[in-house]
Amino acid sequence: MPELPEVETIVRNLREGLHGPPVKGQRIERVSLYWPRHIHTPSPSTFRRRIKDRIVQEIGRRGKFIHIQLDRGNLIIHLRMSGDLSVIPKDTPRDPHDHTIFFLENSFQIRLNDVRKFGRVYLVDDAEKIFGKLGPEPLDPDFTPQSLKLSLHKRKRQIKPLLLDQTFLAGLGNIYTDEALHLAGIHPLRRSDTLDKDEVRALWKGIRNTLENGIIHNGASIDWVYRGGEFQYHFRVYQRTGEACESCGSTIERTVIGQRGTHFCPQCQPEASP
Protein backbone atom coordinates (compact mmCIF):
# COMPACT_ATOMS: atom_id res chain seq x y z
CA MET A 1 0.00 0.00 0.00
CA PRO A 2 1.32 3.49 -0.78
CA GLU A 3 2.20 5.09 2.54
CA LEU A 4 2.97 8.67 3.53
CA PRO A 5 6.21 9.07 1.49
CA GLU A 6 4.65 7.60 -1.67
CA VAL A 7 1.54 9.74 -1.32
CA GLU A 8 3.62 12.84 -0.57
CA THR A 9 5.68 12.18 -3.71
CA ILE A 10 2.52 11.90 -5.82
CA VAL A 11 1.15 15.11 -4.32
CA ARG A 12 4.37 16.97 -5.14
CA ASN A 13 4.27 15.65 -8.68
CA LEU A 14 0.73 16.94 -9.11
CA ARG A 15 1.45 20.27 -7.43
CA GLU A 16 4.88 21.05 -8.86
CA GLY A 17 4.66 19.33 -12.24
CA LEU A 18 7.72 17.10 -11.78
CA HIS A 19 6.41 14.59 -14.34
CA GLY A 20 4.00 16.60 -16.45
CA PRO A 21 2.47 20.06 -16.05
CA PRO A 22 1.26 21.27 -12.63
CA VAL A 23 -2.38 20.49 -12.02
CA LYS A 24 -3.09 23.58 -9.91
CA GLY A 25 -5.32 26.02 -11.76
CA GLN A 26 -6.53 23.45 -14.27
CA ARG A 27 -10.21 22.92 -15.01
CA ILE A 28 -11.55 19.36 -14.92
CA GLU A 29 -13.62 19.02 -18.09
CA ARG A 30 -15.06 15.61 -17.30
CA VAL A 31 -14.29 12.19 -15.81
CA SER A 32 -14.40 8.68 -17.26
CA LEU A 33 -15.22 5.89 -14.81
CA TYR A 34 -14.16 2.46 -16.03
CA TRP A 35 -14.62 1.10 -12.51
CA PRO A 36 -17.51 3.07 -10.94
CA ARG A 37 -16.94 1.39 -7.57
CA HIS A 38 -13.92 3.64 -7.13
CA ILE A 39 -16.41 6.39 -6.33
CA HIS A 40 -17.38 6.15 -2.68
CA THR A 41 -19.14 9.50 -2.25
CA PRO A 42 -21.44 10.64 -3.89
CA SER A 43 -22.99 8.22 -6.40
CA PRO A 44 -21.04 7.81 -9.67
CA SER A 45 -23.70 9.68 -11.66
CA THR A 46 -23.71 12.59 -9.20
CA PHE A 47 -19.92 12.53 -9.10
CA ARG A 48 -19.72 12.89 -12.90
CA ARG A 49 -22.08 15.86 -12.81
CA ARG A 50 -20.49 17.63 -9.84
CA ILE A 51 -16.85 17.22 -10.93
CA LYS A 52 -17.49 18.76 -14.35
CA ASP A 53 -15.83 22.18 -14.81
CA ARG A 54 -14.38 22.26 -11.31
CA ILE A 55 -11.04 24.09 -11.01
CA VAL A 56 -8.11 22.74 -8.99
CA GLN A 57 -7.04 25.29 -6.38
CA GLU A 58 -4.71 23.45 -4.01
CA ILE A 59 -3.19 19.97 -3.70
CA GLY A 60 -2.13 18.46 -0.41
CA ARG A 61 -2.00 15.33 1.70
CA ARG A 62 -3.58 14.16 4.93
CA GLY A 63 -2.20 10.85 6.14
CA LYS A 64 -2.41 8.52 3.14
CA PHE A 65 -5.10 10.61 1.45
CA ILE A 66 -4.54 12.90 -1.53
CA HIS A 67 -6.51 16.10 -0.99
CA ILE A 68 -7.37 18.21 -4.05
CA GLN A 69 -9.19 21.39 -3.10
CA LEU A 70 -11.52 22.59 -5.85
CA ASP A 71 -13.23 25.92 -6.41
CA ARG A 72 -16.26 24.13 -5.04
CA GLY A 73 -15.80 21.01 -2.96
CA ASN A 74 -12.92 18.67 -2.12
CA LEU A 75 -11.71 15.79 -4.25
CA ILE A 76 -10.12 13.20 -1.96
CA ILE A 77 -8.40 10.04 -3.16
CA HIS A 78 -7.19 7.06 -1.14
CA LEU A 79 -4.94 4.75 -3.15
CA ARG A 80 -5.46 1.76 -0.83
CA MET A 81 -3.54 -1.41 -1.81
CA SER A 82 -2.34 -0.77 -5.34
CA GLY A 83 -3.30 2.71 -6.51
CA ASP A 84 -1.12 5.24 -8.28
CA LEU A 85 -2.00 8.68 -9.61
CA SER A 86 -0.20 10.36 -12.49
CA VAL A 87 -0.55 13.17 -15.05
CA ILE A 88 -0.41 11.83 -18.61
CA PRO A 89 -0.98 13.35 -22.08
CA LYS A 90 -4.50 12.56 -23.23
CA ASP A 91 -3.33 10.77 -26.38
CA THR A 92 -1.36 8.20 -24.34
CA PRO A 93 -2.97 4.76 -24.78
CA ARG A 94 -5.02 3.78 -21.76
CA ASP A 95 -3.47 1.14 -19.51
CA PRO A 96 -5.97 -1.64 -18.69
CA HIS A 97 -5.72 -0.62 -15.03
CA ASP A 98 -6.39 3.09 -15.60
CA HIS A 99 -9.86 2.95 -14.08
CA THR A 100 -10.66 6.58 -13.21
CA ILE A 101 -9.55 9.32 -15.60
CA PHE A 102 -9.97 13.07 -15.11
CA PHE A 103 -9.77 15.11 -18.34
CA LEU A 104 -8.02 18.47 -17.87
CA GLU A 105 -8.40 21.50 -20.12
CA ASN A 106 -4.68 21.48 -21.02
CA SER A 107 -4.94 18.17 -22.94
CA PHE A 108 -3.55 16.16 -20.04
CA GLN A 109 -5.29 13.66 -17.82
CA ILE A 110 -5.04 12.62 -14.19
CA ARG A 111 -5.22 8.83 -14.23
CA LEU A 112 -5.90 6.61 -11.24
CA ASN A 113 -4.21 3.31 -12.02
CA ASP A 114 -5.33 0.60 -9.61
CA VAL A 115 -4.56 -3.06 -10.29
CA ARG A 116 -6.60 -4.44 -7.41
CA LYS A 117 -9.39 -1.83 -7.65
CA PHE A 118 -9.43 -1.08 -3.90
CA GLY A 119 -8.88 2.68 -4.28
CA ARG A 120 -11.57 5.10 -3.17
CA VAL A 121 -12.56 8.55 -4.43
CA TYR A 122 -14.63 11.09 -2.52
CA LEU A 123 -16.15 14.42 -3.52
CA VAL A 124 -17.34 16.24 -0.41
CA ASP A 125 -18.05 19.80 0.70
CA ASP A 126 -16.28 19.33 4.05
CA ALA A 127 -12.97 17.44 4.00
CA GLU A 128 -13.23 16.76 7.72
CA LYS A 129 -15.97 14.25 6.95
CA ILE A 130 -13.13 12.07 5.66
CA PHE A 131 -10.21 13.29 7.78
CA GLY A 132 -11.96 13.84 11.10
CA LYS A 133 -10.86 10.62 12.79
CA LEU A 134 -7.24 10.65 11.61
CA GLY A 135 -4.44 10.95 14.12
CA PRO A 136 -1.70 13.61 14.02
CA GLU A 137 0.69 14.07 11.13
CA PRO A 138 4.08 12.58 12.10
CA LEU A 139 6.05 15.29 10.26
CA ASP A 140 4.13 18.24 11.69
CA PRO A 141 5.87 20.50 14.26
CA ASP A 142 3.09 19.73 16.75
CA PHE A 143 4.07 16.06 16.76
CA THR A 144 6.72 16.04 19.50
CA PRO A 145 8.33 13.41 21.73
CA GLN A 146 6.18 14.74 24.55
CA SER A 147 2.92 14.41 22.63
CA LEU A 148 3.94 10.95 21.44
CA LYS A 149 4.73 9.83 24.98
CA LEU A 150 1.32 10.98 26.24
CA SER A 151 -0.45 9.15 23.43
CA LEU A 152 1.58 5.95 23.88
CA HIS A 153 1.03 5.81 27.61
CA LYS A 154 -2.73 6.28 27.25
CA ARG A 155 -2.81 2.96 25.41
CA LYS A 156 -1.75 -0.51 26.45
CA ARG A 157 -1.25 -1.99 23.01
CA GLN A 158 1.51 -3.71 21.10
CA ILE A 159 3.51 -0.97 19.44
CA LYS A 160 3.40 -2.32 15.87
CA PRO A 161 -0.43 -2.51 15.52
CA LEU A 162 -0.76 0.81 17.34
CA LEU A 163 1.51 2.63 14.89
CA LEU A 164 -0.51 1.16 12.01
CA ASP A 165 -3.73 2.54 13.52
CA GLN A 166 -4.53 5.65 11.45
CA THR A 167 -6.54 7.14 14.31
CA PHE A 168 -3.38 7.07 16.44
CA LEU A 169 -0.93 8.41 13.85
CA ALA A 170 -1.71 9.21 10.22
CA GLY A 171 0.37 7.94 7.32
CA LEU A 172 2.38 4.98 8.60
CA GLY A 173 1.96 1.56 7.00
CA ASN A 174 3.75 -1.75 7.22
CA ILE A 175 6.97 -0.71 5.51
CA TYR A 176 7.75 2.46 7.41
CA THR A 177 6.60 1.07 10.75
CA ASP A 178 9.05 -1.84 10.51
CA GLU A 179 11.81 0.51 9.41
CA ALA A 180 11.10 3.06 12.16
CA LEU A 181 10.99 0.45 14.90
CA HIS A 182 14.34 -0.96 13.80
CA LEU A 183 15.89 2.48 13.70
CA ALA A 184 14.55 3.09 17.22
CA GLY A 185 15.71 -0.31 18.52
CA ILE A 186 12.21 -1.25 19.71
CA HIS A 187 10.73 -4.74 19.33
CA PRO A 188 7.39 -4.67 17.46
CA LEU A 189 5.70 -6.60 20.30
CA ARG A 190 6.61 -4.06 23.00
CA ARG A 191 3.60 -2.64 24.76
CA SER A 192 3.17 1.08 24.19
CA ASP A 193 2.90 2.05 27.85
CA THR A 194 6.20 0.34 28.75
CA LEU A 195 8.38 2.67 26.67
CA ASP A 196 10.49 5.00 28.78
CA LYS A 197 11.40 8.59 27.92
CA ASP A 198 14.53 7.69 25.96
CA GLU A 199 12.75 4.96 24.01
CA VAL A 200 9.91 7.31 23.12
CA ARG A 201 12.37 9.89 21.82
CA ALA A 202 14.16 7.19 19.82
CA LEU A 203 10.84 6.11 18.34
CA TRP A 204 9.89 9.71 17.50
CA LYS A 205 13.23 10.20 15.75
CA GLY A 206 12.91 6.81 14.03
CA ILE A 207 9.48 7.64 12.64
CA ARG A 208 10.45 11.07 11.35
CA ASN A 209 13.85 10.04 9.96
CA THR A 210 12.38 7.03 8.18
CA LEU A 211 9.58 9.06 6.61
CA GLU A 212 11.89 11.90 5.61
CA ASN A 213 14.33 9.44 4.05
CA GLY A 214 11.46 7.77 2.22
CA ILE A 215 10.38 11.11 0.77
CA ILE A 216 13.95 11.93 -0.30
CA HIS A 217 13.96 8.68 -2.30
CA ASN A 218 10.43 9.27 -3.69
CA GLY A 219 8.99 6.39 -1.69
CA ALA A 220 9.36 2.68 -2.29
CA SER A 221 8.36 0.70 -5.40
CA ILE A 222 7.28 -2.85 -4.62
CA ASP A 223 5.68 -5.15 -7.21
CA TRP A 224 2.92 -3.18 -8.96
CA VAL A 225 2.31 -0.86 -6.00
CA TYR A 226 3.40 2.69 -6.87
CA ARG A 227 6.08 3.09 -9.50
CA GLY A 228 9.05 5.41 -9.41
CA GLY A 229 10.53 5.30 -5.92
CA GLU A 230 13.92 3.98 -4.81
CA PHE A 231 13.56 3.64 -1.04
CA GLN A 232 13.36 -0.14 -1.43
CA TYR A 233 17.14 -0.06 -2.02
CA HIS A 234 17.59 1.41 1.47
CA PHE A 235 15.45 -0.94 3.57
CA ARG A 236 16.97 -1.86 6.91
CA VAL A 237 14.67 -4.80 7.71
CA TYR A 238 11.54 -4.80 5.54
CA GLN A 239 11.49 -7.81 3.16
CA ARG A 240 15.04 -8.72 4.21
CA THR A 241 14.20 -11.94 6.07
CA GLY A 242 17.28 -14.13 6.49
CA GLU A 243 19.69 -11.37 5.51
CA ALA A 244 22.27 -9.80 7.80
CA CYS A 245 21.31 -6.73 9.78
CA GLU A 246 23.43 -3.83 8.55
CA SER A 247 23.76 -2.52 12.09
CA CYS A 248 24.92 -5.64 13.97
CA GLY A 249 25.18 -8.52 11.49
CA SER A 250 22.45 -10.65 13.09
CA THR A 251 19.89 -12.38 10.91
CA ILE A 252 16.72 -10.44 10.13
CA GLU A 253 13.62 -12.34 11.23
CA ARG A 254 9.99 -12.23 10.15
CA THR A 255 6.88 -12.85 12.21
CA VAL A 256 3.19 -12.02 11.94
CA ILE A 257 1.71 -9.41 14.28
CA GLY A 258 -1.88 -8.32 13.90
CA GLN A 259 -2.09 -10.28 10.64
CA ARG A 260 0.74 -8.22 9.18
CA GLY A 261 4.12 -9.54 8.15
CA THR A 262 6.67 -7.93 10.46
CA HIS A 263 10.44 -7.74 10.02
CA PHE A 264 12.93 -7.04 12.81
CA CYS A 265 16.42 -7.71 14.11
CA PRO A 266 16.38 -9.76 17.35
CA GLN A 267 19.70 -8.27 18.42
CA CYS A 268 18.97 -4.61 17.76
CA GLN A 269 15.34 -4.94 18.88
CA PRO A 270 15.30 -7.23 21.92
CA GLU A 271 11.91 -8.26 23.17
CA ALA A 272 11.24 -7.01 26.70
CA SER A 273 8.57 -8.29 29.05
CA PRO A 274 5.49 -6.00 29.26
Contacts of 94 (CB under 8 A, 6+ apart): 101, 111
One digit per residue, pLDDT tens: the chain, 274 residues?
799 999 999 999 999 987 789 999 999 999 999 999 999 999 999 999 999 999 999 999 999 999 999 999 999 999 998 899 999 999 999 999 999 999 999 999 999 999 999 999 999 999 999 999 999 999 999 999 999 999 999 999 999 999 999 999 999 999 999 999 999 999 999 999 999 999 999 999 999 999 999 999 999 987 656 667 899 999 999 999 999 999 999 999 999 999 999 999 999 999 874 4
**Do residues 164 and 4 lie in contact, with contact meaning Cβ atoms separated by under 8 Å?**
no
Cα–Cα–Cα angle for 128, 130, 135, rounded to 5 degrees: 80
Domains within the chain, CATH numbers bracketed = 4-131 (3.20.190.10), 145-264 (1.10.8.50)
Beta bridge partners of 253: 264
Catalytic residues: 2-3, 64, 260
* pTM score: 0.95
CA distance 264 to 179: 8
